[in-house]
């Protein structure tokens, strides 16, 4: 059975799993901000309407200025894209004949873009036995050969975080041997900018992928950007379609990035909810990854029953993310997004019920 390769779009999942979809469901399979989109989007939506009949600024100059000032970088160190996903696909073209590493489990698009661009893939693995820590010596040996590496920080799906000092060490190795660090910070704003490598923007060996679809809940609008060295960004820009970022996405991006109160509120909310959910799951005998992000891995007391729990929850209208296509996880865990308190409560109630049913079997 081939399950959908990403979260969201639950209808397809129900069809593939051959489970009839209840009239009301909650979708914890994707990781957008439950507090979003920020209210300014709705407030100004009507005013932005007029922008749809003209071509957008192909450079996205105003948005770039806002992003550059947010990160304290130069405007020419920013490149905007139709989601981080587009920028990954295009950026990988520059390393077509190189070897690119991926540390698993990881966002499945990395392998897709590596293979679609004809680059060579080298896999590294982490798992629960080492608390998802990668063997840094292996990575260092790999980078010393001039190879490139995709890094997801925080990791999707575990929510584990790489320390900036470790990333700095790896970047120095890449600089020395002319490899690339392809750093995906799609969810870093859920933790705080102090975890970002944006201070290293400008290094010719670092590209930072940022998404605006998670924090600002704009997945349908599509918006992301790259922070990097201006010459590398120019090369990538030449490969992108003209007008790749639509006018509404540009306007929305300018408005929301400046809303620091919204971002702070989100971080506090996620932290408190994550703790509340983890306390509950721990008491229920479940295991979770030590996530610092707005999603986490969970596993029932009997890990052999993970697939059964997944299907049972679907029947109750609670959609989690399967991990069948996360290399190295292979379905042993489930991933859940931290959503509204009400939705998180529904998950916890369901877990209670499942445990009760289990104990009476």
Ligand X SMILES: Cc1ncc(COP(=O)(O)O)c(C=O)c1O
Per CB under 6 A, residues contacting ligand X are 83-85, 107, 152, 156, 184, 186, 211, 213, 219, 224
Closest contact distance (angstroms) between CB of 210 and ligand X is 8
Contact (Cβ atoms closer than 8 angstroms) between residue 34 and residue 338: yes
Contact (Cβ atoms closer than 8 angstroms) between residue 210 and residue 182: no
How is the beta sheet containing 99-104 ordered, strand by strand?
A: 78-81, 224-228, 206-211, 181-184, 148-152, 99-104, 120-125
Residue nearest to ligand X (CB): 83
Angle between helix 247-257 and 61-71 (nearest 10): 30
Place of tokens 């080492």: 130
* Backbone phi and psi for residue 210, each to the nearest 5 degrees, phi listed first: -120, 145
Closest contact distance (angstroms) between CB of 103 and ligand X is 12
Is 184 or 273 the residue whose CB approaches ligand X more closely?
184
Closest contact distance (angstroms) between CB of 87 and ligand X is 8
Is 73 or 84 the residue whose CB approaches ligand X more closely?
84
- With 0-12 / 13-18 / 19 or more C-beta atoms within 10 angstroms meaning exposed / middle / buried, residue 312 is middle
Place of tokens 């991006």: 253
Closest contact distance (angstroms) between CB of 18 and ligand X is 25
Is 88 or 232 the residue whose CB approaches ligand X more closely?
88
Closest contact distance (angstroms) between CB of 6 and ligand X is 6
Is 29 or 299 the residue whose CB approaches ligand X more closely?
29
Beta strands in the chain (DSSP E): 26-27, 78-81, 99-104, 120-125, 148-152, 181-184, 206-211, 224-228, 287-288, 295-299, 318-319, 334-337
Distance CA 134, CA 199 (A): 24
- With 0-12 / 13-18 / 19 or more C-beta atoms within 10 angstroms meaning exposed / middle / buried, residue 198 is buried
Is 152 or 197 the residue whose CB approaches ligand X more closely?
152
Closest contact distance (angstroms) between CB of 186 and ligand X is 3
Closest contact distance (angstroms) between CB of 157 and ligand X is 8
Is 184 or 189 the residue whose CB approaches ligand X more closely?
184
Closest contact distance (angstroms) between CB of 89 and ligand X is 10
Could you give the angle at the alpha carbon of 89 between the alpha carbons of 187 and 156, nearest 5°? 25
Is 27 or 300 the residue whose CB approaches ligand X more closely?
27
Contact (Cβ atoms closer than 8 angstroms) between residue 308 and residue 315: no
Is 149 or 350 the residue whose CB approaches ligand X more closely?
149
């Amino acid at each position: 059975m081939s399950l959908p390769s990403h979260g969201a779009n639950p209808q397809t999942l129900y069809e593939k799993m051959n489970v009839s979809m209840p009239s009301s469901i909650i979708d914890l399979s994707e990781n957008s901000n439950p507090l979003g989109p920020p209210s300014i989007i709705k407030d100004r939506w009507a005013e932005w309407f007029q922008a749809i009949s003209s071509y957008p600024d192909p450079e996205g100059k105003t948005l770039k200025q806002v992003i550059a000032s947010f990160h304290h970088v130069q405007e020419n160190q920013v490149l905007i894209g139709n989601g981080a996903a587009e920028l990954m696909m295009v950026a990988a073209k520059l390393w077509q004949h190189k070897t690119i590493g991926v540390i698993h489990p990881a966002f499945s698009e990395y392998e897709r873009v590596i293979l679609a661009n004809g680059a060579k893939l080298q896999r590294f693995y982490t798992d629960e036995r080492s608390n998802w820590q990668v063997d840094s010596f292996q990575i260092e040996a790999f980078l010393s050969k001039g190879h490139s590496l995709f890094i997801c920080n925080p990791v999707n799906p575990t929510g584990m975080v790489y320390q900036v000092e470790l990333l700095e060490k790896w970047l120095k190795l890449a600089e020395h041997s002319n490899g690339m660090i392809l750093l995906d910070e799609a969810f870093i704003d859920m933790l705080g900018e102090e975890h970002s490598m944006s201070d290293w923007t400008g290094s010719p060996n670092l590209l930072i992928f940022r998404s605006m679809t998670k924090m600002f809940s704009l997945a349908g609008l599509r918006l992301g950007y790259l922070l990097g060295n201006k010459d590398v960004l120019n090369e990538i820009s030449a490969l992108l379609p003209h007008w790749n970022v639509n006018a509404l996405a540009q306007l929305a991006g300018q408005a929301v990035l400046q809303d620091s109160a919204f971002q702070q509120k989100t971080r506090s909310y996620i932290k408190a909810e994550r703790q509340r959910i983890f306390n509950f799951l721990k008491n229920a005998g479940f295991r979770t990854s030590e996530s610092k992000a707005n999603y986490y891995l969970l596993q029932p007391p009997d890990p052999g029953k993970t697939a059964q729990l997944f299907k049972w929850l679907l029947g109750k209208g609670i959609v989690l993310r399967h991990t069948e296509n996360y290399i190295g996880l292979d379905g042993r865990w489930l991933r859940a997004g931290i959503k509204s308190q009400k939705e998180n409560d529904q998950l916890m109630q369901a877990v209670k019920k499942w445990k009760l049913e289990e104990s009476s079997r």
